[in-house]
Every structure is written in structure tokens, then in C-alpha cells.
Structure 1
């Protein structure tokens, strides 16, 4: 029995909406607080807040990603779309429709030459990261970010915008790429068509690094599971290796 036919989806009701709202409201509330927080590089909280905001930025992108898979509001397609659109826009004005199209190609052609996220030339981290960014960043995004920055600095200190708005966003792209693309898809794979591996079972590490997307084989095998159900799926797969019966996630 293949693992892709073992873990079945179960209804999530409005839980996806509540989780998405929690992530988006937390990101916005933290940013609103930090744009007024004194930037003093001798203050260790400044560095902690950068990391917290980086993690929340990653959550904003993961929310857009789950909307792409239709699992934020599975019973309300229009609402699901607009939550994904909003989340992608908040993450440096990403184009949600472009993200959706390329991400579905990634799942269809994972770790092959037709995968827009895969760098099949030099597997060096920075070369792959640069190739990855070129697939998604547009001139329009850069212009919109520049315009937004110049508007926001009329009300907020420039150093706050740089330290708590811009730097966490950039760091989040490293976080998403390293834990969500580079580690799961680098090197050779022996589990087509998913061509993805998962990190060792550790839910705390998996959440802190990338909202359980370190359990990447589970995501590719069960793309109908929202990010907050990947931990359970990883546990189930551990059990499957020992011959456990079919279960639901």
C-alpha cells in the first residue's frame, strides 16, 4: 500500500480560517508595535523581535500557500482565494495567481527540469537561491515595495521600517527556501513523483523552522492537508513503516 493512499483528508470546518486569521492578525499587530519600538542595537530584544517577525512573515506566506491548495477555506472558494491573495500581497507584493500557477507546476514536476523551483545546474545554495528568486521576483514588486517604503516613512522612522519590515521579509525568504525547498529537494531522490524528503520527527523544530514544511514528503504526498496537519501526517508515516493500519489525518 502506498503512503499517498493511506492518509485521507478529514473536514476542517472553519479551523483553517481561524488559523489564517491568527497568523495574519499576529503579523500585523507585531508590525504595528515594532514600527514604534525604539531601535537600539544594544537592546537584545531588537534581534529577538526581528526573528519573531521573520517567523510571522513565513506564516503569512504559508497561509498564501495553503490557499493555493484550497485548504484555508475549503468550503468557500472565493473567500479562500482572497485570503490567499491578501497573504501573497502582504508578503512583498507577490502575485498570487503567478505563485499558484508555478506552485502547481512544482508539485506536478517536483525536482525535475520542468519544476520552476528546482535548480538542476549548480546545486550550490546561493546559486539555487538566486535562481529561485528570479522565478518569482518581478520589477513590479520592487517598484511597489519602493513606493510603499517611501509612503510609510512619512509616518514611521526609517530605521524601524528597515529593521522590522524589510529585513524580516528578506530573512523569511531564506527560511522558506532553505527549509521548504533546498533541504527537501536537493540531491538524488528515490520516491518519485514526489522527489521530496522530510526532516527527522521533531514537531518543535519543524514548527519553528518552517511551520512543519520540513515534513516535506508528507506535503507532497498529501497536498490536501493544511500546514497544521502535517505534524500528524509525519507521525502516521512513522507508524506506517511499522505496519500500522490506514488512518486519517
Structure 2
């Protein structure tokens, strides 16, 4: 969260004309990673594992992270996410699209509609306008800075969370495959971290929602070892 804030202050004050496209692309990627990290903080708070035994501070920090992420209301997001865990791949799951003909973009649209509301979008757009006015006082490219380092990272982050944390793990649960459990992406830990803070280890998360995001690789390796031992025994 501190990295997200520091990069926001630093990048909004830049004069973009003084930097190469490669440097700006690297800054955009970094902001996208930090943006996704904000949601991960809020997500762990929803499961009560951000500050174990932290009580209200767990929820307060989670609410702040989601507010900074996209002006998302913490209570509504937590209710949606609990429904996702209690009845995954069902009609009660707000993150799931049962129609196999809907395609990835149809599913993404349904996924986003479950979290975006007129009031939330008003807060988000109002925040961007305020940031643009402030940034314009320090940089001649202030409005573009907001689009490049706030708007675009949020869009890319939403796609990242959807693809790695929802679509790829749960698509096998749609007809005609109709698998009982979500899949996990079999990625090495370093790539899983870069892909989406280990959200790709999705079966492990559903079966052990009490684990924080950084504990999922160890659980993934443990389960893979058990599976290998069972296969060898068979």
C-alpha cells in the first residue's frame, strides 16, 4: 500500500515528455502490479487473514485498500466473495458465468457488473478528476498522467484478476466439463507471483481460505507432493 501511494505521488508529478516510451511502459507495469496488490490486501482482509486477531483493524485496512483500488465498498465486496466461496460455480455465485457460450468477454462483463455501481463509479471518476487537477499543478501532462498511471493500471488489473483468479480456474466448472472443483494453474512460484500474487493457486485457496496469499505456494507444493506419492503408490 505504501508502494502504491509513493508511486502515485511520484508518477503523477512527472513531465512525460522527458521520459522514453520504455521507461513509461515499465512504470505502467509496476503500477498495475501494485494496483493488483491493493485488491489482494482487501481480499485477505475479507477472509480475516490480513491481521489475524486484528479485529476491526483487519476490516479497516481492507476497506482502505479496496477504496484506493477502485472506490469499492468493502461490505458489498465481502458479501459477494463469501457467496463465491459458499456456492462456487452455482447460480448464487456472483463471479461465475454458467453459459459456456458466453465467452471470456461475456463472463468478464458479468464479473465487472457484479462490482460496479453508479455510486461507486461516481466516486472513482470524481477521484480521478481531483487527481488530474492536482497533477496539472505540478506537471504539464497531468491529465495524461492520471490516465496512464491510474485509469489504465486499474483496467489491466481487473483483467489480470479476472483471468488468473476467476476465468482460468473456474472455466472447467461450466458445462460440458462441469468439474466439481476449481483448477489451479501449475506455475512455478516466481511466475505465479508475477501472474497475480498466487491467485492462480485457486483450488488451494478455496480449500484453505484461511491461508494468506503468500502461504499458497507452500500449500500448492504440499498438495503436489501428496499427489505424486499417491501416484507412485498406485
TM-score, normalising length from structure 2? 0.89
**Larger fraction in helix:** 2
Partner residue of 2:139? none
Q: CA deviation at 1:43?
A: 2.2
Partner residue of 1:181? 166
Q: Structure 1: which 5+ runs fail to align?
A: 1-23, 245-249
1:127 maps onto 2:71 in alignment: no
Partner residue of 2:9? 32
Partner residue of 1:206? 192
Q: Of 160, 166, 180, which aligns to 2:145? A: 160
* Cα distance change on mapping 1:104 and 1:154 into 2, 3 Å: same
1:225 maps onto 2:211 in alignment: yes
- Which structure is higher in RCO with an 8 Å CA cutoff and minimum separation 6? 1
Distance 1:75 1:228 in 2: 18
What is the 5 A alignment of 1:86-105?
A: 86-105=64-83
What is the 5 A alignment of 1:1-249?
A: 24-40=1-17, 42-121=20-99, 122-156=101-135, 157-188=142-173, 192=180, 195-243=181-229
SS of residue paired to 1:212: coil
Q: Structure 2: which 5+ runs fail to align?
A: 136-141
Q: CA deviation at 1:218?
A: 0.4
**Runs of 4+ in structure 1 displaced over 4 angstroms?**
none
Query: Are the counterparts in 2 of residues 50 and 168 from structure 1 also a CA contact under 8 Å?
Result: yes
Distance 1:191 1:146 in 2: 39
Distance 2:78 2:127 in 1: 24
Q: CA deviation at 1:113?
A: 1.8
TM-score, normalising length from structure 1? 0.84
SS of residue paired to 2:198: coil
Worse-matched range after superposition: 122-131 or 52-61: 122-131
* Cα distance change on mapping 1:123 and 1:204 into 2, 3 Å: farther
Q: CA deviation at 1:142?
A: 1.2
* Cα distance change on mapping 1:201 and 1:155 into 2, 3 Å: closer
